[in-house]
Structure 1
Amino acid sequence: MANAFVRWFDERAPGMAPMYRKHMTEYYAPKNFNLWYYFGSLAILVLVNQIVTGIFLTMNYDPSAAGAFDSVQYIMRDVEWGWLIRYMHTTGASLFFVVVFLHMFRGIMYGSFKKPRELVWVLGMLIFLVLMAEAFMGYVLPWGNMSFWGAKVIVSLFGTIPVIGGHLVEWIMGDFLPADSTLNRFFALHVIALPLVLLLLVVLHLAALHEVGSNNPDGVDVKHGPKGNRWDALKPADGIPFHPYYTLKDLVGVGVFLIVAAFIIFFAPTFGGWFLEHDNSIAANNLLTPAQIKPVWYFTAFYAIVRMVPSFAGTAVWGVIAMFGSIAVLFALPWIDVGPVKSIRYRGTGYKVGLTVFVIAFLSLMLIGTDLTDVLFPKLFGADIDLTTWDNVFGRIMTLAYFGFFVFLWLYTHLGWEKTKPVPERVTTHD
């Protein structure tokens, strides 16, 4: 019966079986993937979770200034299992950025953005950009007090654009302050428009990846045949079929990930105010400003860059340019780093030091954006220090270190300063 159904299906959709074989059973991935290669499949898992839980949340959500906050409380208190669905969604949003950040770092570490995978990297960065927009609009929808003021502050950044800034802010919000029109358009974008764009980009990202093949920790291309030739394409010595080998391996990562996610959802759903901020348990009030207006944790590094760039001529436009520039420069990474070696295993010491400084700078900017430095600095340097001065000095140094990494990388690879190690001709295996 199963074979009959397969034959019936193939006769009516003859292109499905070849596509399945191309992307699953006959797609040969390098045989030396390590733990860093779990995060791509985990990102797809979280995306599915966000879509499914989001559908159930929209069934009881009221996208109006008068009813949004109460509808969220209704979901949490009166809808059967509503609290679980919402916590799965809010926890999933933060875990989405965790796995995406780690996925991007792995790409930088192993040179997955280099030729011939430039398009794969650019499509991945577009996914990251759309994901940021999707997360921001979703953050506004609960219509808590931090959502309201966060929307006002972030949208107001566009007001720094000369001439059209004020009109652009009013056009985005649909009013002079975040209100009904803001919620309606953010709801439409968050639920329909941006998820469609995100799904399209994910499909293109995977299609582009499978055209050129996956990178690996050694950063060398998979060679076919027992002697490394391509005469026998069906017997690659350096690769194994993605299915069933890596699909089963990914299930191990999925199991561990789900255990961690379940622990957070059931025991620490707010994660100490990092995943769900305490100020968002209060309804939006345009007359009650939170003591500290700051974005959710995954935006804090970019928000810190805005704060650290000094204003000139009474405008913060340079800070906004720096913030968008910190994202745009990642798009240009394939053309900034033109070194012949991909993997950090065989790259020069300068690259390893530079990447370490880049990671420290990014994490430090996150600390500044979350105002944790206001707690750490007095403990480290004494309670009588000038926090504003220390924050500004430290933050500007870290901002320079963030952008300095890309400047250094351009000079390091374009001028031929890098001294690399010999790269193996074939992918290596684990002991």
Structure 2
Amino acid sequence: MQKIRAVESLAWLPSPLSISIWWNGGSILGLLLGVQIITGLFLSMHYTADMVNTFNSVIHITRDAPAGWLFRSIHANGASFFFMFMYLHIGRGLYYQSYISQPHTWMVGVTILLVSMATAFLGYVLPWGQMSFWGATVITNLLSAIPYWGPSIVEWVWGGFSVGQSTLNRFFSLHFILPFLIGALSALHLLFLHEKGSTNPLGEHNHSSKIPFHPYFTWKDMVGFLVLIGLLTVVVLFYPTSMGDPENFTTANPMVTPTHIQPEWYFLFAYAILRSIPSKLGGVIALAMSVIVLYFLPLAAGKAAVPASFTPPYQLVYWIFILIFILLTWLGACPIEEPYLTLAGPCTVLYFFLLGLLVAIPAAWKSLIR
């Protein structure tokens, strides 16, 4: 009986009449998370976490397991789609200042982003290709920048003196478990969201301009699902390797370093920030802060949001910030040479400076129009 009431309360949840298609991101991310968990479960049945046979087990999944190529392609490309829609979801929240009106929802959302990044990194190592191995070596070695305890922490993460069998075992275990943690955090995210209700482009919370979630927004979500399924189908069937690295089609070789080591595209903005700072410790701190800084937005912002539609300076700064984010992503994929290194430094400074401006402008604009 309680379950029926919970479903009814969800279906009849008062939702703002003015929310646009940008509010589809949450439901799409929920669908993608379910797809990733289901496909990952089937892939784990054929995967072997053994340094000798791991790469061959991935080949076996692709060539011999029934529909293995399909499940692997959906899982690999689904991760890219998950981050694509997550960045769109965060961008929408940043534009409409959801971190002011719903600070708890925002905080949990940032935690979901961090756990998703960890899960994606662990999963990238599992195929045990060249880029998987060297990506794991480079990224985990960043922990050595921590004063005094750094080298010991790296050895603890590796389970030895280099990336090896112990590393692969623990990465596989964590990659399998963390999606369920993401699911639990998503439920908490929804709980906080329903406590205050969704934001809207106008920034008002008057219940008189709200309508039931079902059937109006369930149908809108269905349209979003169909668009997502269509896009994912095109990529999986016609461009299955377009979002991967060619180096990963070669088995891991500790004796041969790839010419250009880089993570997946959704980490490139942070990787560019890391490379832009000469100091190793400074680069690691900047890398971590590029995401952790999102936690501080609700703390630094004012008490009331100002609709971005009525704040031209906010819109200008926001779109410049998005441009800088895209530019950093491109720079992260470029070789470590000039002029890319010179460009990364100013872009890193602008990334943090513009985020600070986005927090400061609403309060300043509100006092100005008064």
How do residues 3-402 of structure 1 correspond to structure 2 at under 5 angstroms?
14-24=1-11, 26-115=12-101, 117-192=102-177, 194-224=178-208, 238-271=209-242, 275-311=243-279, 316-338=280-302, 340-347=304-311, 349-371=312-334, 388-402=337-351
Q: 1:403 aligns to what?
A: 352
Partner Cα distance (2:85, 2:4) in 1: 31
What is the rounded CA distance, in whole Å, between the counterparts of 1:421 and 1:148 in structure 2? Answer: 55
* Cα deviation digits, residues 95-123 of structure 1 (max 9, x gap): 000000000000011111113x1000000
Contact 1:110 1:217 in 2 (8 A): yes
Would you say the 8 A contact 2:100–2:305 is kept in 1? Answer: no
Q: 1:27 to 1:410 in 2, by over 3 A?
A: closer
Deviation at 1:389, TM superposition (A): 3.8
Letter in 1 for 2:194: H
* Helix, strand or coil at the partner of 1:114: helix
1:346–1:421 CA contact under 8 A, matched in 2: no
Show CA shifts across 1:265-297 (max 9, x none). Answer: 0000111xxx22110000010001111000010
Aligned length: 370
Query: 1:335 is matched by which residue type in structure 2?
Result: L
Report the Cα distance in structure 2 between the residues aligned to 1:79 and 1:409, rounded to whole angstroms: 50
- After superposition, the Cα gap between the structure-2 partners of 1:265 and 1:30, relative to the gap in structure 1 and judged at 3 Å, is same
Query: What is the TM-score of this pair, normalised by structure 2?
Result: 0.96
Cα distance in 2, alignment partners of residues 420 and 103 from structure 1: 30
Contact 1:114 1:342 in 2 (8 A): no
Distance in 1, Cα, partners of 2:49 & 2:246 = 21
Residue type at the aligned position of 1:399 = T
Gaps of 5+ in 1: 1-13, 225-237, 375-386, 423-431
**RMSD across aligned positions (CA):** 1.6
Q: Between Structure 1 and Structure 2, which shows a larger proportion of helix residues?
A: 2
Q: Whose relative contact order is higher, 1 or 2, with alpha carbons under 8 Å and at least 6 apart?
A: 2
Identity %: 39
Equivalent position SS for 1:240: strand
Question: What letter is aligned with 1:276?
Answer: G
Q: Is the 8 A contact 2:318 2:358 kept in 1?
A: no
Kindly indicate whether the alpha-carbon contact (under 8 Å) linking 1:65 and 1:180 is maintained by their aligned counterparts in 2.
Answer: yes
Unmatched 5+ stretches in structure 2: none
Amino acid at match of 2:257: T
Cα distance in 1 for residues equivalent to 2:237 and 2:368: 48
Q: Partner residue of 1:6?
A: none
Amino acid in structure 1 at the alignment position of 2:9: K
Q: Is the partner of 1:66 in helix, strand or coil?
A: coil
In structure 2, the CA distance between the partners of 1:399 and 1:339, relative to structure 1 (3 Å rule), is farther
Any idea what the Cα deviations from partners look like across 1:224-262, whole Å, max 9, x if unmatched?
A: 3xxxxxxxxxxxxx1121122211111111111111110
Query: Cα distance, 1:420 vs. partner?
Result: 7.0
SS state of the match for residue 388, structure 1?
coil
